[in-house]
Amino acid sequence: MPPPLALSVKDAMVRYSDVPVFENLSFNIHKGARIALVGKNGAGKSTLMNIITGRQDLDEGERWEEQGLSIGYLQQEVIPKEGQSIYDYVIQEIPEEERELHAYKVDIVTDALQIDPQAMLTRLSGGQLRRAGLARALVEEPDILLLDEPTNHLDLEVIEWLEGYLKAYRGTLLCVSHDRTFLANITNQIFWLDRGDLKVCPRGFGHFEEWSTMLLEQEERELRNRKSIVAQEVEWASRGVKARRKRNMRRLELVKEMRDQLKADESSYRKATNKIKMETPKGIEENSKIVAEFYNVHKTFEEDHKVIPILKGFSLRIQRGERIGILGKNGSGKSTFLKLLMGQIDPDQGRVKRRKELEFSYFDQKRSDLNPEDTLRKVLAPAGNDYINVMGKQRHVCGYLKDFLFDPARSYDKVSQLSGGQKNRLMLAKILANPQTCLILDEPTNDLDMDTLDMLEEILIQYQGTLIIVSHDRDFLDQTVTKILAFEGEGKVQSCVGGYTDYIAMRDKENDSAKPAAKPSKTKDESVQQNVQQSGEDSAPAPKKQAKKLSYKLERELGQLPDKIEKAQGEVAAFNEQLLDADFYQRDPDGFHSVTQALADAEAKLDRYETRWLELEEMKAS
């Protein structure tokens, strides 16, 4: 039986202009669902979230929600008020009589998010304001929690904490995020906005690539079949039309309609599957492989009369073509390292040596190089030319904008009219037109949709210069870098060959080895053997190795597992039998999705039981 329904939208239409954003939009949100909302920039994700909250009125259709349902929404922007502290902001919507009960939760969440509850909102950075907004959403604990890019401006340690918190969250979640690993870890359902349609997958985001590819391939096959049918009809229409014009005018009109609709659908499919294609950027050839060296570098900063060490005796050699990922908490030294590398600041001690020919292309997460009053054209061609140099070739500005998924008709729009993701895309277009010998990207994945992320990964994989990326996106780092520098605070920097996954494996191994091994107490047999050896009686037999005896609790768990395994196997078989019904989906879509999800849960449960049984049997035999 599916979980109870929390909210439902049926046959909705939302229109901002002559062209509707949504038409015939229908979806259900059940209690306990953890939904990944996926779609390109501009697909309508924010509009959909506003429909869920009730802030967006429907031009047509119905919206229903359970009586007493509470909905919380972490938005992209938090507007600070003068004289308001983080604590005041977080508890603002909580009734006065309940605030004392929520005080402990405020402390837990703000501490985990590394923000001071007494700090004034007007004195916070953009990243700290986002954390305050996230704290408010988590403390309120609404029945449905909507999260729009919750991992932006969070370091990896906080992201991992947030994952754990959301996994234990008792309400319903709907999350928009560019962080694939984060979505895969917290979701069990997908809402995919694709060309105005909402497609639903009853599995978590980890299955999105497989599922979406299957749907697009199915669409491609249908278009090919329709194209063949239209070609046959056109061939018929072109033969002997004059002789049978009167009695076949309707068929001729249908042929024209079929051909026009096919053309429109093919164009829509090409847009949906369009990828940004760029020529391979090439780094400038240099005689020396070494592009920069840090020699015993020390750097500190003073804050509130306290000296904060950033780098202590730091040495590093960067070679041409290296691909380095930078990790670390806010304030751990990442930005200082980049400024030292680019020569913007000097070390307190030690020396930073750079090749004279070394040039930098720098993606600034604050987008300080973008003037809000400039047009898209002016950003790419400041002199006002129609053509720009893209890696040695002349390209028209509009054609190059189209490569980065911008409508050429928007070339005269101002930067201030763009969304955060579009601004990042424009910055990338500017930098990647002619990347220098060293490309530095500071949090490039913030606000990007997944199609643009795929494009960026492909370009960076082919980039032949020296690449340095500061990012909290674990999957992105795994795909693009071959070395990790982890800034762990107090001047400590850890180096690891590989990507993020390799760094975590190395860190966990070091943590395990650092734990003091418990000294085993001597058994009675060992004490007897020692006494015998000390007295010279070497004829005593060595004690036999005995199988480890499980505790009563573990022995009882082991005894119960076979019945649990058998029951889980029966559930899996029953769900599979239900799904064999070819008409099941057409007859009951919600029931089909519920059974599919139940099957996945049963298979996961069976896997856990079998794994645990093997673990306990091995413990018993060791």
The pLDDT, as a whole number, for residue 528 is 39
Query: Same structural domain for residues 134 and 152?
Result: yes
Total residues found in the chain within this entry: 622
* Domain closes at, from 179, 210, 241: 210
Question: Is there a domain that residue 533 lies in?
Answer: no
Same-domain status, 206 and 226: no
**Burial track 102-119 (b if 16+ CB lie within 10 A, e otherwise):** beebbeebbebbbbebee
Q: What is the model's pLDDT at position 406? A: 84
Question: What Å distances lie between residue 82 and 86, 119, 123, CA to CA?
Answer: 11, 12, 9
69 and 176 housed in the same domain: yes
- Is there a domain that residue 550 lies in? yes
User: Vertex 540, ends 534 and 544: CA angle to 5°?
Assistant: 110
91 and 240 housed in the same domain: no
Tell me which residue has tokens 């050839």.
Answer: 285
On whether residue 285 sits in a domain, the answer given is no
Give 110-127 pLDDT, tens digit per residue: 999 989 999 998 888 777
Q: Quick one: pLDDT at residue 569?
A: 87
Total domain count for the chain? 4
Residue 49 is assigned to a structural domain of this protein: yes
Q: Look at the block and give the residue holding tokens 């070091």.
A: 510
pLDDT tens-digit readout, 134-146: 999 999 889 999 9
Together in a domain, 233 and 372: no
Q: Are residues 150 and 36 in the same domain?
A: yes
CATH at 579: 1.10.287.380
Does 576 fall in a domain?
A: yes
Residue 161 lies in a domain: yes
Judge if 118 and 248 occupy the same domain: no
Q: What does the mean pLDDT of the chain come to? A: 82
For residue 285, what pLDDT is reported? 45
The pLDDT, as a whole number, for residue 535 is 42
Q: Please check whether residue 229 lies inside any domain of the structure.
A: yes
Same structural domain, 115 and 176? yes
* Digit-coded pLDDT (tens) for 201-221: 999 999 998 898 888 888 888
Residue corresponding to tokens 């040596």 = 353
Measured distance CA(210)–CA(216) in Å, rounded: 10
Q: What is the pLDDT of residues 229-283, one digit of tens each?
A: 777 766 666 665 554 454 455 555 665 666 677 666 666 666 665 655 555 444 4
Q: Which of 193, 210, 227 is the last residue of a domain?
A: 210
Same domain, 31 and 132: yes
Taking Cα atoms as reference points, which of 162, 165, 164, 168 lies closest to residue 149? Answer: 162
Edge to edge, what strands does the sheet with 438-442 contain? 360-363, 438-442, 466-470, 323-328, 483-489, 492-497
Q: Which residue has the higher pLDDT, 617 or 507?
A: 507
Which pLDDT score, from 0 to 100, does residue 182 have? Answer: 94
Q: What is the CATH number of the domain that holds 382?
A: 3.40.50.300
Q: Which helix (H) or strand (E) holds 470?
A: strand 466-470
Is the pLDDT confidence value at 298 over 80? yes
One domain, residues 178 and 80: yes
Residues 474-502: pLDDT tens digits? 989 988 999 999 998 888 899 898 889 88
**pTM of the entire predicted model:** 0.67
Structure letter (DSSP) for residue 414: B
Q: Is the pLDDT of residue 186 over 90?
A: yes
Look at residue 171 and tell me if it is in a domain.
yes
Same domain, 203 and 232: no
Residue 519 three-state SS: coil
Q: How many CA atoms lie within 13 A of 404 on its CB side?
A: 24
- Whether the Cβ atoms of residue 585 and residue 594 lie closer than 8 Å to each other: no
The answer to whether residues 500 and 549 belong to one domain is: no
- Range in 8-12, 66-70, 241-245, 423-427 with the lowest mean pLDDT: 241-245
Domain span at 170 = 5-210
pLDDT of amino acid 147 = 94
Q: What does the pLDDT read at residue 525?
A: 46
> How confident is the model over 47-102, as pLDDT tens digits?
999 999 999 999 999 999 999 999 998 866 778 888 889 999 999 888 888 888 88
Which of 210, 237, 259 terminates a domain? The answer is 210
Q: Find all residues with CB under 8 Å of 568, minimum gap 6, and list them.
A: 602, 605, 606, 609
Q: Report the percentage of the chain scoring pLDDT > 70.
A: 82
